[in-house]
Amino acid sequence: MRRLAARLRNSLKDLSPERMALLLAVGLVLGVFPIAGCPTVLCLLAALGLRLNAAALQALNNLASPLQLALLLPLNQAGVCLCGGALPAGGSAACRIGVAALHAVAGWACICVPAGVLLYFGLILAMKWRAAHSLVAVSQSA
């Protein structure tokens, strides 16, 4: 396990601030996708499409799993507000589950995707600020 963590750490240390911020933002946003099992596939597709580290993206996906469960009901309620309707009273259980899933995905798309964009730019600024301040500290101590 330590060897795996060391390999993952070594593969991430050479990333630029932009790539690291993209990896973190995409991993967290896709990791909270409200349909179980889908985040794994979405993270794999994102890793291939954006040329990101697939192992790191899957690790972030797994770390976001508790957050996925915690956000399931709030995202569903946001989707209900956005779509303008509650769950249907009649119909089969599968129909009600499907409508609830659509509401949760609508809430995710309207809340988590914009939050992910803000997270991406915030992380870029934070990483560049940290790099600039660490260079200043190194030059002052020399």
The domain limits of the chain are 2-141
Asked if 16 contacts 6 with a C-beta cutoff of 8 angstroms, the reply is no
For 34-66, the pLDDT digits (tens) are: 999 999 999 999 999 999 989 889 988 988 999
Neighbours of 87 (CB within 10 A): 13
pTM: 0.82
136: Cα within 13 Å, side-chain hemisphere: 6
Q: How far apart are CA 43 and CA 46, in angstroms?
A: 5
Q: Which of 67-76, 89-98, 110-119 shows the lowest mean pLDDT across its residues?
A: 89-98
- Give the rounded distance of the alpha carbon of 56 from its chain centre: 12
With contact defined as beta carbons under 8 Å apart, do 127 and 20 qualify? yes
How far from the centroid of its chain's Cα atoms is residue 81's Cα?
A: 23
The burial class, CB within 10 Å (0-12 / 13-18 / 19+), for 19 is middle
Tell me the pLDDT band of 4, cut-offs 50, 70 and 90. Answer: low
- Mean pLDDT, range 7-31, rounded to an integer: 85
- Taking residues 10-37, report their average pLDDT: 89
